[in-house]
Amino acid sequence: MLNKKKLIKIFKTASLCRNFEKITFKKIQEKIIKFPVYLSAGQEFIASSLSQMTSELRVKPMIFAQHRCHSTYLAFGGNMKKLINELQGNISGATFGIGGSASLHSKEINMYGHDGHMGTQGPIGVGACFVSRKPTIVFLGDASAEEDYVLAALGWASTKKLPILFVVEDNNLSILTKKKVRRNWEMSDVAKSFKMGGYQLDDNPKNIYRFKEKIFKKPMLLNINTHRLFWHAGAGQDSYKTFDRYKIIKKKLGILGNKIDQENFIRINKLWKKHSD
Ligand SMILES: Cc1ncc(C[n+]2csc(CCOP(=O)(O)OP(=O)(O)O)c2C)c(N)n1
Ligand SMILES: [Mg+2]
């Protein structure tokens, strides 16, 4: 069960991710960042909860993310200075200033940069897990999960009983196209049909945390419903009514929630200033 102490830890990580994206949003508007940026605000409790779970399990998984990966990188301990530099195209960036927002790579946290083709992280992650048998997390968008090669990779992961966790960050959108327009099935059912654990849940940390003891024992897929706060790419908002888990949990934590949020904002702002050209 997720107790208050652990919830606060997860919130601290989520707050780091959220404030990073909030400030990055401004930097895009100010044209300090000059290439496409995929903000992950709204979805940060997924990576934040999983990083808490893996650290409690004392597991440092291989991480295969996709384009919307800032929160994944930060939540699992990626260096923020290197991310700031990366977003400005500097050689001191996480991927030497040439990977950009979508392909964050970090040897320190075992995170493999994405190549930009939706869903390729599926078969690549399965292959890496198959040869190494190391605990692995593959993050997929709800649209990327639809790619045929992802489905084939799920089958192989199941057949070989790999210690792999597929996480579908289901924001119900492929750029602007809703899931119901694209398909009439769910990834959790696909996983079950491949004889692996397949679950449908929301991004409330207490619901994600429930899977702590189950992950990496056998292949499993968590389809986690979440909400993208900002545009697919760049700085803008599709709707001001979008559900915001961060706001709810911050409110629940009261004064402490506000304090953590403000401290992160000040700290990250300073860091951005220090590392801006
Ligand atoms: C194979 C391929 N087809 C199309 C694209 C263009 N494209 C980039 S992101 C995207 C939508 C991705 O949606 P999803 O996987 O749900 O991730 P989200 O952006 O919602 O986080 C599309 C169609 C691409 N990058 N690769
Ligand atoms: Mg999506």
Domain total in the chain:
1
Taking the CB of residue 274, how many other CB atoms lie within 10 A of it? Answer: 9
| CATH number where 19 lies | 3.40.50.970
Å from CA of 140 to ligand 1 middle: 10
Per-chain mean pLDDT for the chain: 97
Number of Cβ within 10 Å of residue 165's Cβ equals 27
Please give the average per-residue pLDDT across 55-76, as a whole number: 98
pLDDT at position 277, please? 67
Residue 35 DSSP symbol? S
Q: For residues 64 and 112, is the Cβ–Cβ distance under 8 A? A: yes
Rounded mean pLDDT, 11-40? 97
**Measured on CA atoms in the order 74, 190, 143, 240, is the torsion positive or negative?**
negative
Which residues fall inside 5 Å of ion ligand 2, going by CB?
Answer: 141-142, 171, 173
Can you tell me the distance from the alpha carbon of 10 to that of 237, in angstroms, rounded to the nearest whole number?
25
What pLDDT shows up at residue 276? Answer: 86
Residues with CB under 6 A from ligand 1: 67-68, 116-118, 141-144, 171, 173-175, 232
Range of the domain at 51: 4-274
The amino acid occupying position 192 is K
Per-residue pLDDT of 227-276, as tens digits, reads 999 999 999 999 999 999 999 999 999 999 999 999 999 999 999 999 98
Atom of ligand 1 nearest to the CA of 38: 19
pTM of the entire predicted model? 0.98
Each residue's pLDDT tens digit, 162-192? 999 999 999 999 999 999 999 999 999 999 9
What spatial distance separates the first Cα and last Cα of the chain, rounded to whole Å? 45
pLDDT, position 28 = 97
How does strand 173-174 pair with strand 177-178? antiparallel
How high is the pLDDT of residue 21?
A: 98
CA of 216 to the centre of ligand 1 (A): 27
CA 15 vs CA 9, 10, 175, 234, 257: distances in Å: 10, 8, 25, 20, 9
Ligand 1 centroid to Cα of residue 118, in Å, is 5
Ligand 1 centroid vs 201 CA: distance in angstroms? Answer: 22
High-pLDDT (> 70) share of the chain, %:
100
For residue 121, give the ligand nearest its CA.
1
pLDDT tens profile 104-134? 999 999 999 999 999 999 999 999 999 999 9
> What is the rounded average pLDDT of the residues 216-221?
98
